[in-house]
């Protein structure tokens, strides 16, 4: 899928909002925003977008896909599903929860990450700061 095809999908689902003023989580400002929540109800669309992610990482020996709760859980699950299909291997889909100023991996998921190749998928990326804050141990 090309970038223009992806942009068309985002536009057709009403996910792209332009010509407004947004303050992103990072504190940066911008005039455009992708409303991921406009895409999530469209299961075929989100599945196809996650298939594109999976295709790009199919040769990377990914064993676990992790994303932030709540917004990234759908991405984690669909991407892991497609990676499993493409590679004919079990790929787990898990999520991290937001703590005070970082993401915390709870529910025993930290044990699933030990010595595994992990793909982090984000629902929104402005600066990459959230991905850098990931914790690999449970803090509950």
Q: In this predicted structure, what is the pLDDT of residue 13?
A: 93
- Ranges of residues in the chain with a pLDDT under 50 are 126-128, 130-131, 133-140
Is 117 contained in some domain? yes
Is 15 contained in some domain? no
Q: Is the pTM of this model over 0.85?
A: no
**What stretches of the chain show up as alpha helix (H) in DSSP?**
3-12, 43-57, 73-87, 109-113, 129-132
- Return the CATH number at 42: 3.40.50.2020
Per the structure, the count of domains in the chain is 1
Q: In this predicted structure, what is the pLDDT of residue 125?
A: 53
Is 110 contained in some domain? yes
Is 105 contained in some domain? yes
Q: ∠28-33-38 over CA atoms, to 5°?
A: 140
Which residue range(s) make up the domain with 69?
37-132
Is 14 contained in some domain? no
Q: In this predicted structure, what is the pLDDT of residue 62?
A: 97
Is 102 contained in some domain? yes
Is 96 contained in some domain? yes
Is 49 contained in some domain? yes
Beta strands 64-68; 33-34: pairing state: unpaired
């Amino acid at each position: 899928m090309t970038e223009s095809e992806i942009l068309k999908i985002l536009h057709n689902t009403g996910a792209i909002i332009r010509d407004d003023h947004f303050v992103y989580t990072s504190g940066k400002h911008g005039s455009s925003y992708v409303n991921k929540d406009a895409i999530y109800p469209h299961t075929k669309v989100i599945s196809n977008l996650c298939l594109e992610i999976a295709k790009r990482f199919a040769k990377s020996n990914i064993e676990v896909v992790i994303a932030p709760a709540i917004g990234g859980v759908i991405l984690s699950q669909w991407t892991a599903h497609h990676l499993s299909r493409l590679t004919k291997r079990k790929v787990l889909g898990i999520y991290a929860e937001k703590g005070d100023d970082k993401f915390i991996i709870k529910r025993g998921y930290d044990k699933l990450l030990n010595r595994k190749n992990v793909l982090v998928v984000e629902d929104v990326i402005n600066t990459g700061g959230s991905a850098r804050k990931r914790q690999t141990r449970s803090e509950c």
